[in-house]
Amino acid sequence: MTAAERLPATAVVVPRPRVTRREVVVVAVVTLAFALLLVVWALVTPMFQAPDEAAHVDAVLHLALGGHWDAPGQLHYLNATRAAVDSAASTPPLQRPTVGALLAAHPGESVLVDQMSQHPPTYYLAAAVVLRILHLHDLRWDVAVVVLRLVDALLVAPLPVLVWATVRRLTRAPRLAAVAPFALFAVPQLAQIGSSVTNEAPVFLLGGLLTWFGVRILTGDRRWWTTLALGLTFAVLASVKATGLPAVLFVAVVVLAARALPWRARLSRAGVALAIGVVLGSWWWVHCLVAFHTPLPNGLAGLTPVTPWPPGSTRNPGLFVDQQWDGLTRSFWGEFGGFQFPMTPIVTDLLSLVALLAIAWSFTRRFPQRGAVVALGALPASVLLAVVAYDWRSYGGLHQIGGTQGRFLFVALVAAIAMSAVAWSALVVRPVLRRRAARVLVVAAPAVGAYGLSVAYRGEYEQTNLGITRPGLAHLAYTTPLGSHTLAVVGVLMAVAVVVAVVLAWRWCGLGSGRDTTGREAPPTPVPSVTATVPATATDRLPDVD
């Protein structure tokens, strides 16, 4: 399709700022720093001390060894997995056996149920293929776990690029887009989960891709390939985990809200995108509905005890809301280990309130991207509603409040950061304040990330005491799977990359006293975006604004 076919006879075009070398360098260094941070987390987190990691590793091993994907509640832990879990803290890495030796010493399955077969086998099959390629039986078992952790880190590492591309497309503000990825450092829970063995890692990446395609459509991309990519991304997302299913609302909303298309085209393209997602992404859920009479089977059904209600009581909405807020905010920003090492509530509550109030407050202002932000909000809103609804239903069935996991919201993290970026750009108008706000983010976000890493370290190696001691460092060196020298090298590289990223972004934000953080000349008062009316005869000479 030519440019002339993508534009109507008279179109309003907002020029897209050219990507400069400095912008590319800033984004590249931020991405490198984030990737190295994920590797540090993968080496610092003790074996199986990330949420549900033992269950995920066991599920991968089942398929890598040629086992079947049993029905929910019928998959049992391998005795070899249980032996690895039991010996992880007491055995130094060089004395840990290979996977083949571990299986020979501990054959068969235990009676303990692995609930992960309630999920589609998509992620586990892909991870099993990786282990088979690397000759699973010859790998030391902790090295096999680290390999899976690094594969997941590789999946999560592109998130800074997706944040940059999404914010840049939405705002056409190069400097705002370049500093927006720093917000990822302020969510240390993302780094811990994203560097562990989990089926959440591809969900984070696919959620970011879905957001980027959606923003392209919202901002005038009329090409069919973008609509098809949106539907295909949703299909893959739905094939990995149930947390991707609420995105069906987002897919419909962003296409129907695409003002560059006439209504008939919006309806047809929304139908195509949804059809692709349903046809290619619903196979597991249809199978569960037919085989188990529910689209969302519970891998621990009948195994979770039901707490009796106190006499004359039932579900308490006030208690539910209070625990949902505490649980979701705490486990969104940072609740490490097996959820036993949380960041202080002062920090998590403050971060949550600032983020939510900024978005809400921005809607008191008039800004060009308001409609796009509302459509973008369909993703985090639908995911949050689904999580809360599931927890409320579970509360009624088990008589206890559980499942309040903030990591389930990470599928919409890129969308949430993009909404926050637009909100702050609408609230902070003065150029001087914009530069200061950008610099605060550039410095404060890595500081929060370092604080979160310190909480996890102190919890795992210092018995939550303040400070860094020789016994704590010795314990870390004793247990880290690739050795203390590898961890030290990666840690130094990460620190250097973070410092370089902060310096580059700080200096770029302050370039030119008359410029704001968007890279445009800052007028004394807000003005509408510069537009140009383009005749149809000139469209074939225009650069691609899609």
What is the DSSP annotation of 317-367?
Answer: HHHHHHHHHHHHHHHHH-EETTTTEEPPHHHHHHHHHHHHHHHHHHTTS--
Residue 78: strand, helix, or coil: strand
Strand ranges (E), 169-328? none
DSSP letter for 20, please.
P
Q: Is 111 exposed, middle or buried (0-12, 13-18, 19+ CB in 10 A)?
A: exposed
pLDDT on residue 403: 66
Please enumerate in sequence order all residues whose Cβ is within 8 A of that of 216, keeping only pairs 6 or more positions apart, or say none. 169, 226, 546
Q: Which two tokens stand for residue 283?
A: 């196979």
To the nearest 5 percent, what fractions of the chain are helix, strand and coil? Answer: 65, 5, 30
Residue 291's CB is within 10 A of a number of other CB atoms, namely: 11
Angle of helix 378-398 relative to helix 317-333, nearest 10 degrees, comes to: 130
In contact, 14 and 529? CB cutoff 8 Å: yes
Please enumerate in sequence order all residues whose Cβ is within 8 A of that of 428, keeping only pairs 6 or more positions apart, or say none. 434, 437
Q: Which two tokens stand for residue 13?
A: 């075009």
pLDDT on residue 545: 29
pLDDT on residue 366: 83
Give CA–CA dist 32/23, Å, rounded.
14
Using alpha carbons, select from 93, 82, 110 the residue that is nearest to residue 46.
93
pLDDT tens series, the chain, 546 aa? 444 444 443 333 446 778 888 899 999 999 999 999 999 999 999 999 999 999 999 999 999 999 889 999 899 999 999 999 999 888 888 899 999 999 999 999 999 999 999 999 999 999 999 999 999 999 999 999 999 999 999 999 999 999 999 999 999 889 999 999 999 999 999 999 999 999 999 999 999 999 999 999 999 899 999 999 999 999 999 999 999 999 999 999 999 999 888 999 999 999 999 999 999 999 999 999 999 888 888 877 666 667 776 666 778 888 888 889 989 999 999 999 888 899 999 999 999 999 999 999 988 888 888 888 999 999 999 999 999 998 888 887 777 777 678 899 999 999 999 999 999 999 988 888 989 999 999 999 999 999 999 999 999 998 877 778 888 899 898 889 998 999 999 999 999 999 999 999 999 887 544 444 444 434 433 333 333 333 333 322 223 323
pLDDT on residue 523: 43
Residue 98: strand, helix, or coil: strand
pLDDT on residue 520: 46
pLDDT on residue 513: 40
pLDDT on residue 258: 92
Residue 307's CB is within 10 A of a number of other CB atoms, namely: 9
pLDDT on residue 94: 87
In contact, 350 and 414? CB cutoff 8 Å: no
Give CA–CA dist 473/470, Å, rounded.
5
In contact, 330 and 350? CB cutoff 8 Å: no
Q: Which two tokens stand for residue 138?
A: 């010859």
pTM for the full predicted model:
0.89
Give CA–CA dist 328/452, Å, rounded.
16
